[in-house]
């Protein structure tokens, strides 16, 4: 595989410019990709945790099933993301993971990550940064769920996804693909599907968000940021200077 075509290489390269050797190490994590269908469970809560996976193609989500039969979606994964990183120190899965759409997944055992730690300080630093970023995103999701109204919740999530999509593709995010049903968005944001539909309608009427099936357009990013109270400090860009200092 050409490293420049690798989703995981593009993802990591956003943190710090990678050497050819670092790119070669990452490309190994996308070897032997397995096709998976939408709705496929990559693993379930309490399964044995002995491997990670990378998403080469397609979107996925992690979730917890609750005692009352409902479900809370925890994270959305995009191509290039490492899935299962948080469970490196655990013997059992803390959450299930399911594909949102058809895609390709590359599974690799924990020992492959240890090999990367041994061979590359840069990739080790980025792995820790990714783990920290995932934790901060969960914290921001908690604030979003607990303290914002439905309109702010949806606007904030759309801006977050806009930024994340932008980080893995060369063009902007004013218009991007969002392959999430209203049911998935409801389970993610703690709302009902009907409430999600009404909120999209309200944002559309105010000219803030336009949605056509799985395509979202944000005509004025700054206006939507003001609406959501969106502060992107928890996303990737402000982390990059740390790697420059570490490599001096």
pLDDT single digits (tens) 216-239? 999 999 999 999 999 887 776 555
Q: Tell me: pLDDT of 110 over 60.
A: yes
Q: What ranges in the chain are assigned the alpha helix state H?
A: 7-13, 20-27, 110-119, 121-147, 150-168, 182-189, 193-205, 221-228, 240-246
pLDDT (0 to 100) of residue 2: 65
State whether residue 101 is helix, strand or coil.
Answer: coil
d(CA 171, CA 175) in angstroms, rounded, equals 10
pLDDT (0 to 100) of residue 153: 96
Share of the chain above pLDDT 70, in %: 90
d(CA 142, CA 188) in angstroms, rounded, equals 11
More confident residue, 190 or 2: 190
More confident residue, 164 or 6: 164
Contact indicator for 48, 98 with CB cutoff of 8 Å: no
pLDDT (0 to 100) of residue 181: 96
For residues 112-117, average pLDDT? 86
Residues pairing with 63 in the sheet: 73, 96
For residues 204-208, average pLDDT? 96
Residue 137 structure tokens: 């995103």
Q: What is the pTM of this model?
A: 0.87
Q: Tell me: pLDDT of 241 over 50.
A: no
Residue 151 structure tokens: 């309109």
More confident residue, 155 or 235: 155
For residues 49-58, average pLDDT? 90
**What domains does the chain contain, in order, with CATH numbers?**
3-140 (2.60.120.10), 148-234 (1.10.10.10)
Q: Tell me: pLDDT of 246 over 60.
A: no
Q: Tell me: pLDDT of 245 over 60.
A: no
Contacts of 51 (CB under 8 A, 6+ apart): 84, 107, 108, 109, 110
């Amino acid at each position: 595989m050409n490293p420049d075509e690798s989703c995981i290489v593009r993802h990591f390269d956003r943190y710090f410019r990678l050497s050819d050797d670092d790119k070669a190490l990452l490309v190994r994590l996308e070897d032997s990709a397995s096709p998976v269908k939408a709705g496929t469970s990559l693993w379930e809560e309490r399964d044995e945790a002995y491997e990670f996976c990378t998403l080469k193609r397609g979107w996925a989500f992690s979730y917890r099933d609750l005692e009352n039969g409902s479900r809370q979606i925890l994270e959305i994964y995009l191509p290039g993301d490492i899935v299962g990183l948080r469970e490196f120190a655990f013997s059992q899965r803390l959450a299930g993971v399911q594909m949102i759409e058809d895609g390709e997944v590359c599974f690799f055992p924990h020992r492959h990550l240890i090999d990367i730690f041994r061979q590359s300080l840069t990739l080790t630093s980025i792995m820790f940064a990714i783990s920290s970023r995932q934790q901060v995103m969960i914290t921001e999701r908690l604030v979003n769920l607990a303290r914002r109204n439905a309109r702010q919740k949806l606007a904030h999530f759309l801006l977050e996804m806009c930024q994340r999509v932008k980080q893995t593709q060369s063009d902007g995010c004013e218009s991007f693909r969002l392959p999430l049903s209203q049911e998935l968005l409801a389970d993610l944001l703690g709302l009902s599907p009907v409430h999600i539909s009404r909120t999209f309608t309200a944002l559309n009427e105010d000219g803030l968000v336009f949605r056509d099936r799985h395509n979202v357009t944000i005509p004025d990013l700054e206006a939507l940021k003001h609406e959501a109270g969106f502060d992107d400090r928890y996303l990737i860009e402000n982390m990059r200077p740390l790697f420059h200092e570490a490599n001096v």
